[in-house]
Structure formats: structure tokens, C-alpha cells
Amino acid sequence: MSGGITQLFYLSELSAKEVTLGEEESGHVIRVLRLREDDPIWLVDGKGTLAEAAILTPHPKKCVVRITSVTSHFEKRNYRFHLAVAPTKNSDRMEWLVEKATETGLDEFTPLLCRHSERRQFQTARLQKVAVSAMKQSLKAYLPVIGDLVAFEKFVSQPLPGEKFIAHCRSGEKPHLFNCITQGEEVVVLIGPEGDFSPEEISLALQNGFQEISLGSSRLRTETAALSACFIAAVKNEAQTTSDSIFAK
């Protein structure tokens, strides 16, 4: 991000000339940073809009700002990445994943209910807050969509755009994800629970157009595998050439 911007604040709607920040953001602006009237701040709406604004009313609970310039589609990536993961038993590991994946480049996160899932209930509110924080910290203008828990069978059976992949640990020759992704395309990657996907789930995914892939020779934990897929998609789309793979098949 250029222009010396070091901190972003989030507001879901930036269409008006004057907007009021939420209580948490207002408190940070006024109480923590001690900004005053006419001081500049930068806002994002999570949908690609970056706005420069000046403080009008420096209230610690209802800070009003005047938008002075707007940039649409700020630093929009050339691909879309959708990660569907069976949540781990330890919720902290999922929060870590969403935080790091948002920083890396994540557009949508769907928690999956699988046959071997250890967590069969899931609350999205906390992860949404984690995603907002990670978006601001990494100076991005796009907020990933955090979906509700959905049954594996329902998810893979629905029409999903782009290229679709499933990563699992069962034996067999599988190409590396890096070699399967097409630059500039939408990508959906399925990552299973600690006990992996069942044979029936893998078969159902293949029947619905998913391709088996490898994430490398190491056996990875659920959240590590998911983040690796994010990294691979980012590297592939940022690479200057696709003629030679830097990963082994």
C-alpha cells in the first residue's frame, strides 16, 4: 500500500459524504491514537473501497468523518480463493488460520461438517471479527466472507464456479496444487478434519468435479494444510511465468 498509509479503519458502508464510525473504531481513533478534528484517517468497507477522510466530530463513541477521496477496487487481486475446511476441535487454530489466510489472500471461508469432524457446531461471529482485524492489519480493502457450517455433501453438490480441488492424505498419485491452478481463475480447495475425509466423501467430491491434489510430501495439520493452499494460490498467481513449476509433482 502506497501513500504512507499505516493504519486502516473498517466501516461496512462508505457511500455517504459524512459517516459515523462504530464505537470500537471511534474509541481507537480518539482514545488510543488521540486524533483530533481535521486529522486524516483511512477507511475500508471490506468490498474493495479505500477512502481517505478527515475527522469532523472527534467523539470517542461516535466519531464523525468527512470522506475526501475514494479509490474503488483497491489492490484487487487477479484471482478469487475459496477455502472450505473442517473446523478443528481447538477453535484457536481456526482463528489463527482465518487471520493468516486473510493476510495472504482469502475471499471466502466455509466451515465443513464432515464424517470425521471433531467440531460439529460452529459460530461465525468470532471469526468475522478476526477477519476484520486481519484485513486492517495487513492493509487490505477486501474482507473475506465467513460462511456458516455446512454439510460436506451439500457443499460439494452445489454449483461452484472456477477450479475445484480436494486435498487428502490417502495413497495414490496426485498432482501438486501449484501445477493445477490456472492463473487468474477462481479456486475452491477442500481441506478435511484431523481424521481426513472418508473414502465416500472423496468419491462424492470427484463425482462433482473436484480434482485430487497434493500439498507436498509432509503430513500437515488441518490448519497448516489450509494455509499452505492459500500460499500456493498466491504464489502461483503472483508468479511472472507458469512455464516451470517451483514445486515437484
Reading the chain (249 residues) residue by residue, the pLDDT tens digits are 445 788 999 999 998 999 999 999 999 999 999 999 999 999 999 999 999 999 999 999 999 999 999 999 999 999 999 999 999 988 899 999 999 999 999 999 999 999 988 877 778 899 999 999 999 999 999 999 999 999 999 999 999 999 999 999 888 889 999 999 999 999 999 999 988 899 999 999 999 999 999 998 888 899 999 999 999 999 999 864 443 444 444
Beta strand segments in 38-149, E: 40-44, 50-57, 64-71, 80-85, 108-113, 145-146
Helix (H) or strand (E) holding 228: helix 222-238
SS3 at position 145 = strand
Return d(Cα 154, Cα 28) in angstroms, integer.
41
CB atoms within 10 A of CB 225: 21
Query: Rounded to whole angstroms, what are the CA distances from 237 to 175, 180, 187, 240?
Result: 18, 12, 11, 8
What's the pLDDT at 157?
96
Domain 9-71 indexed as CATH 3.40.190.150: no
Give 162: exposed, middle or buried? Use CB within 10 Å, 0-12, 13-18, 19+.
Answer: middle
Query: Rounded to whole angstroms, what are the CA distances from 232 to 6, 23, 166?
Result: 27, 38, 14
Closest CA to 121 of 156, 157, 150: 150
SS3 at position 235 = helix
Domain spans, the chain: 9-71, 80-238
What's the pLDDT at 243?
39
pLDDT digits (tens, 9 = 90+) for 68-82: 999 999 999 999 999
Q: Which amino acid would we find at residue 56?
A: L
Helices and strands of the chain, counted as H and E runs: 7, 12
Return d(Cα 150, Cα 86) in angstroms, integer.
10
From the options 3.40.1280.10, 3.30.9.100, 3.30.43.10, 3.40.50.20, give the CATH code of 80-238: 3.40.1280.10
pLDDT digits (tens, 9 = 90+) for 104-147: 999 999 999 999 888 777 788 999 999 999 999 999 999 999 99
Q: Which three cell numbers stand for residue 24?
A: 470500537
